[in-house]
Amino acid sequence: MSESTPRAQPRIVYEAEVVQPAVDALTRALIEATPPAWRAAQLVLSFGGAPPVISSPEGHREVVAVTPSLGVALAVLERLRVDRGTGWSGGVLVVRRQDDGSWAASLDWHYGGLTTARPPRTSSVTGVMPVVSGEGAARWEALVARAEAELAAGQAGDALATLSEAVVALPGDTFARSEAGWIFVRMAGIRLAIGDARGALRNAQSALRCRGWERDARALLRLGQAQQAVGDSAAAAATLLAAYHAGGDPWFAAVAPELVAWVRTAAAASPGA
């Protein structure tokens, strides 16, 4: 090969490229299994643990069996999990029917041993559950209360699934609801406590997209802690400093005492301090 001949670059194959067809098949199978009267369905799956469960985020009591198509799709994902070492322990797939008849879907993977993780301590970051009014308020409050009870019982995986259900139970656009920000920050704290830093990162980023949470100290703190845990120290430093300025010294010292000495030094050294 001459020096003028460009060298062929190796093709990069991302995990999503391999996994996405199986996820699409699982999503289609869940939609097909969803009763016509339902506008949403949730599938909670656990690899090597409890059997998959389909439930209604809207509160329908009808029992929906796992169809052969769902079983095949789950088996394919299990094979991919093993072959590619993805680290999934389970996940929550939610599908929602839109006004025009199309479907929207979201999938939140769980990483690590959620079913055996030690129960996280009650969060002092998020504080008490916000008051919700209007359509779906009672169901939302019941789901959050159930999640807190599951946490108290050491069932972190169940609590995360229930909080995901609570997000879906909020009417309208999720990110237009400030209550969703509270849930996402709560989920980020749980994931940090059980060692799922990347899941916490995603949850904190979602919280910052919610109305009224764009610069919230609680969401910034969880994001900074998650960035620390995944090794992005430069981003973590900037995010934690932003959380300190947004929440104030007394609040930060109360909820993150292990970081307060560092952040005070960083704040004193920053321009305009």
What pLDDT was estimated at residue 3?
56
Burial of residue 58 (CB within 10 Å: 0-12, 13-18, 19+) is: middle
Class of domain 1-111: alpha beta
* Higher per-residue confidence, 52 vs 1: 52
Structure confidence by residue, pLDDT tens digits, 52-109: 888 888 888 888 888 888 887 887 787 777 777 777 778 888 899 988 889 988 888 8
Portion of the chain with pLDDT greater than 70, in percent: 81
Packing angle, helices 217-230 and 178-193, rounded to 10: 30
pTM of the predicted structure, to 2 decimals: 0.56
Beta bridge partner(s), residue 95: 41, 105
Report which of 25, 75, 15, 26 is spatially closest to residue 47, judged by C-alpha positions.
75
Structure confidence by residue, pLDDT tens digits, 27-44: 999 999 999 999 999 898
Structure confidence by residue, pLDDT tens digits, 227-258: 888 888 888 889 999 999 999 999 888 888 87
Class of domain 115-273: mainly alpha
In the chain, CATH 1.25.40.10 sits at 115-273
**Rounded Cα–Cα distance for residues 91 and 188 (Å):** 15
pLDDT at 208 over 90: yes
Number of neighbouring beta carbons within 10 Å of residue 1? 7
Q: Given the structure tokens 């029917």, which residue do they identify?
A: 97
Structure confidence by residue, pLDDT tens digits, 143-196: 888 888 887 777 888 888 888 888 887 777 888 888 889 999 999 988 888 888
pLDDT category of residue 114 using cuts at 50, 70 and 90: very low
In the chain, CATH 3.30.500 sits at 1-111
pLDDT at 118 over 50: no
> What does the mean pLDDT of the chain come to?
80
